[in-house]
A and B are shown apart, each in its own frame.
Chain A
Amino acid sequence: MESIAVVGASLAGLRAVETLRREGFDGRLTLIGAENHLPYDRPPLSKVMLAGGWDESNLSLRTNPYDDLDLDLRLGTRASGLDLDPARRAVLLDGGDRVQADGILLATGSQARTMDGLPGHELDGVCTLRTVDDARDIAARLDASPRVVVVGAGFIGSEVAATCRGRGLDVTVLEALPQPMVRGLGPMLGAVCAQLHRDHGVDLHLGAGVEGFEGDGRVERVRLVDGRTIDADLVVVGIGVVPATDWLEGSGLTLDNGVVCDATLRAAPGVVAAGDVCRWPNPLFDGELMRLEHWTNAAEQGVAAALRLVRAGPDEAGAEPFAPVPFVWSDQYDVKIQSAGRFTGEDEVAIVHGTTEEYRFVALFGRAGRLIGALAFSRPRNLMQYRRMIFERASFAAALEHAHAAS
């Protein structure tokens, strides 16, 4: 393999190019990024960066100089398609350029889901948060002490709400479902998340669907489906993300809520994917098709997809399945929420290592007798132990035993 193009210059793409160089790949290595910034860290955008008075140089994802990577770096450049013909495999760029490459790694991430179908979505002050530019804009608006309405009580919405409360702002959170994150956590743990917000002074409305935004040029209020209105100077919409695969329509790749890959992250001959765009069957969870939107997955999968490109060999004998235990964290108020594994509100659940009332506990999730997930509130040590047990396919009974032995 003489040339590799990595499309997407965020965490997954960066860890991929670093891995390729570490593995001794010395061919032409192109890193293409739509944003006009070097790769940067996104988790701080909803936390310290909105808290104000923070040094943006802390967003760097690399301690060593970029020159060490000897990259053909194309920032502010959008990819518009692929040419998958093995004889002239290439990434097509906006403006007509082609980047010829023997290997292509797709890591274009995801973009914030918007409420563009709703009336008033175009009003000034209706924002989403995905990029550092978004965060700068919202941080500047927070300096004017607005009344903040957050739409969506998922991780991003909850973190924005917590940060704004930390600045002493009035915060209303609107969640369309009966509890925050109820699909992922179930009603009991969703209620714990709801109570955490209320304890910190958030005006939380559950089952509150948004009908539209109203105001004269700038947003002044949010209208709910039930007819009520909520006054607002700033609205942050945090209703999830969609994988950035528009540019791959018609490329010949299988697109279905992401780029569908095999268990080794291969999307097509010479093409692999990593990060938020990648949907692949995880062997550790019986081949369930997964698409993960989390920091740790982007880092791990960027490494794995890069190794897949350079180690598989012509007969593919060196291709290894990617079988991680998903891991995500979220900092809200003074609580560190961490989750490992793959679970839903439907699974068996047991609370160990504390109580939900003190916001310090672990919830273990079991399915068909197996430990498949753990959610921790401010219990990082325990959570990591269960992450390992999930990897080792421990039984639910063994996890409960471990918990009781430790307490």
Chain B
Amino acid sequence: MKVVVDFDKCESNAVCMGIAPEVFEVRDDDFLYILQEEPDESLRPKVEEAARMCPKLAITIEG
């Protein structure tokens, strides 16, 4: 599984960080950082929920 964020769409609402903090982090500079681009399969449900709940639909999952 590969996590891809469209940074042209991302508005740093940080919803993804609330759902999957292991993968997504919005830092004090207000930018989103992906902590693991290819997270373990065990995180798939959380990453999928983060993608669904992103207000900008900026997150996609490949594979």
Q: Which residues of A contact B (CB under 8 A)?
A: 15, 18, 41, 43, 61, 63, 295-296, 299-300, 303, 327, 329, 331, 336, 338, 378, 380-381, 383-384, 387-388
Q: Supply 7 A–B pairs (Cβ within 8 Å), ascending by A.
A: A299-B52, A327-B15, A378-B30, A380-B14, A381-B27, A384-B14, A388-B18
CA–CA, A1 and B54, complex, Å: 31
Produce 1/0 per residue, B10-27, CB < 8 A to A.
011111011000000111
Q: Is the CB of A380 within 8 A of B12?
A: yes
CA–CA, A387 and B18, complex, Å: 8
User: Which of B12, B25, B53 gathers most chain A CB within 10 Å?
Assistant: B53
Contacts of B17 in A (CB 8 A): 381, 384
CA–CA, A41 and B28, complex, Å: 28
Q: Is the CB of A63 within 8 A of B18?
A: no
With contacts A296-B53, A387-B18 known, is A329 near B26, CB below 8 A? no
Q: Is the CB of B15 within 8 A of A384?
A: yes
Chain B: interface residue total (CB-CB under 8 A): 17
Q: Is the CB of B13 within 8 A of A380?
A: yes
| Chain A nearest CB, measured from B55 CB (Å) | 6
CB within 8 A of A380: which of B26, B52, B57, B60?
Answer: B26
Contacts of A303 in B (CB 8 A): 52
| Chain A nearest CB, measured from B47 CB (Å) | 15
Q: Is the CB of A381 within 8 A of B30?
A: yes
Contacts of A338 in B (CB 8 A): 13
Q: Is the CB of A63 within 8 A of B57?
A: yes
CA–CA, A15 and B54, complex, Å: 13
Produce 1/0 per residue, B26-63, CB < 8 A to A.
11101000000000000000000000110101001000
Contacts of B52 in A (CB 8 A): 15, 18, 299, 303
Which 4 pairs of residues, A with B, have the shortest CB-CB distance?
Answer: A380-B14, A384-B18, A384-B14, A381-B26
CB within 8 A of A296: which of B15, B26, B57?
Answer: B15
CA–CA, A381 and B14, complex, Å: 6
| Chain B nearest CB, measured from A280 CB (Å) | 19
For A391, the closest partner residue in chain B by CB is B18
Q: Is the CB of A336 within 8 A of B11?
A: yes
CA–CA, A299 and B60, complex, Å: 17
| Chain A nearest CB, measured from B22 CB (Å) | 13
For B16, the closest partner residue in chain A by CB is A384
Contacts of A378 in B (CB 8 A): 30
| Chain A nearest CB, measured from B6 CB (Å) | 10
Contacts of B26 in A (CB 8 A): 380-381, 384
Q: Is the CB of A296 within 8 A of B55?
A: yes
User: Which of B18, B27, B55, B57 gathers most chain A CB within 10 Å?
Assistant: B18
For A386, the closest partner residue in chain B by CB is B18
CA–CA, A300 and B17, complex, Å: 16
User: Which of B13, B27, B55 gathers most chain A CB within 10 Å?
Assistant: B13
Contacts of A329 in B (CB 8 A): 13, 55
For A381, the closest partner residue in chain B by CB is B26
Contacts of A295 in B (CB 8 A): 55
Q: Is the CB of B55 within 8 A of A381?
A: no
